Structure 1
Amino acid sequence: MMSPTSAPTASLNEIGSAAWHKSTFSGASNGCVEHANLTDDRCAVRDTKNREFGAIVFDSPSWGAFISSVNSGVLSL
């Protein structure tokens, strides 16, 4: 697993030019997240309503572990 000192990063240019995909669980309140696949096997996630706050970048194994935990009910949204 990654630690705060080894967490992947992305430049503002890379975040700004990424192909973002809005969550299919978005409702009328627009309270959701967006996901983008980046180069070098990284993923970025950001708040749809607060895009100006930037994004959190994950390596692929960490993102996969998070998604698996949500899908299995270990974490709930």
Structure 2
Amino acid sequence: MSPEAVYNYLGGVQYPAKKPELIKHAKINGAGADVINALETLPDEEYKSQDELIRIGSQLKHKEWSEIRHEHGR
């Protein structure tokens, strides 16, 4: 997943944040289904920062994360 794909849609998130809060903010900020689906595949944990979120998301092998990496040139 490229950082841009997440940073563009997670404005206003106060960290630490749990997955439902991340999804809520992404929806409010107009994220597409690909980004929402990718966020839904994240483990149900509390994320301390966007950097931690990106690191964990990038390690996932789910189709949604691969599609986001591909679409954003990563």
Shorter-normalised TM range: under 0.3
Task: Find the structure with the greater CA-based Rg.
Answer: 1
**Greater share of residues in strand:** 1
**Greater share of residues in helix:** 2
TM-score (norm 1): 0.27
TM-score (norm 2): 0.27
Structure of greater relative contact order (alpha carbons < 8 Å, 6+ residues apart): 2
